[in-house]
Structure 1
Amino acid sequence: MDLAHKHVGMFYNTGSNFYIFGTDYLGRDMFVRIWDGARISLFIAFMAVIINVIIGVIYGGISGYFGGFIDNIMMRIAEIVNGIPYLLIVIILMIVMKPGVSTIIIALAMVGWVGTARLVRGEVIRLKEQEFVISAQSMGASPTRIIGKHLIPNILSIVIVNLTLAIPNAIFTEAFLSFIGLGVQVPQASWGTLANEGIQFFVQYPLELILPAFFISITMLSFNLLGDKLRDAFDPKLRR
């Protein structure tokens, strides 16, 4: 294995090839694999979060607008879904479906919408007593029109901030599941699978683990900072 790893290093130049991040134990360019892993990890995170937001906005909007018995039933269902662990869903889906990108997106989307639904429900309950909603009701507007044309546009800022802050969590969850072998499967590369490969040779070649870990960390930090700035921009009262 040491022979296979002899090209790993920060810079490796052989003839016309220059590897800025070195190569892995199979001689593959780590720079290319890092960015290919970024493409898969970010695709999974964005798709899962977008699906979560769509489901959460619709579910929370209906629950908050109608209230009463419907709200109680929908919130109890949300609590049950929220109590189901990610790992259990992933393991069940791996038995039923082929492990891969689509499986992990479905797993993240099945339980990740609850937080958005609760947030939207609370805002809808607050807004539905406002004059513009009461006026729309008095003019005979349907609940679908009121929710879609009056309530949801007024909570988009909160939804956008929530979406931005949910992306780092999705990135970390995907990386963790791929790291333990329940997410993206080799030969596909995500940051989680790269970290899984790197930890096997960490003592001899720490760069193979440090690189994906660094990009996971810096990406999560970037989205968290972006979410904080958007929250400050949309709600000046939160500025310090």
Structure 2
Amino acid sequence: MESSQGERSLPVAAPGRHLRSATKALPEQARAHNRALMLQTLYHGGAMSRADLARETGLTRVTISDLVAESIADGIIHDIGVRHASGPGKPAIVIDIDREGHQIIGIDLSGTSKFEGAVLDLGGRVICRRSVSLPVQPGSQQTYRAASDLARELIAAATRPILGIGVGSPGVVRGDGTILSAPNLSWQDFPLEHLIAGELGLPAVVSNDADVALLAEYTFGRARSDVMLVRIGRGSEPASSREDGH
């Protein structure tokens, strides 16, 4: 199928991990979607030329050129040099994600005695780690304050502009980052993502801790598409209610 600009809906052919949809969206959503598609392809496929990106994504060269220029201005992409070529024609300029130009923050709320977090570059390299102890008498606001204090420490420790904050929380987490139930943290219908983003002024994503652990392994580790994660932790149910041995 072709759009009004003659762009085809093609799957991403670049090697690597595909964590977003590889087809194009409706016209009113196209620019943001196409930028995400372009960045995903470059991130997982590695350095390539603008023509390579156009072929891999199915977007026109004009669209790719526009999106690349925008991303270079934002500091997300940078030129890394001219590709050596033996044939005729002008050598292509190769571009890549600037993996050290920005940083991200990851926070793990699944610990039984402390929350842990790290500042990472876009390649997954840990820049620094921090942790805070859980409050002695946990309550919804006390545990939230511990999490936000940790986030502030990590923001202060970052050495590059921060793109966003990712949080892994135990319990049942809704798609909008609301913690529907996390008894260990005294959270019930708690809008953690909304609060973190609003207080710290940065994009935030909150998901279940097991889900984000699997996503990290799939993105930065060597996990295959059929990987299975087994996570063991301490629940909040009293021992007297588990006498059946389960």
Do both share a fold (TM > 0.5)? no
- What is the TM-score normalised by the length of structure 2? 0.24
Larger radius of gyration: 1
Q: More helix by proportion, 1 or 2?
A: 1
Q: More strand by proportion, 1 or 2?
A: 2
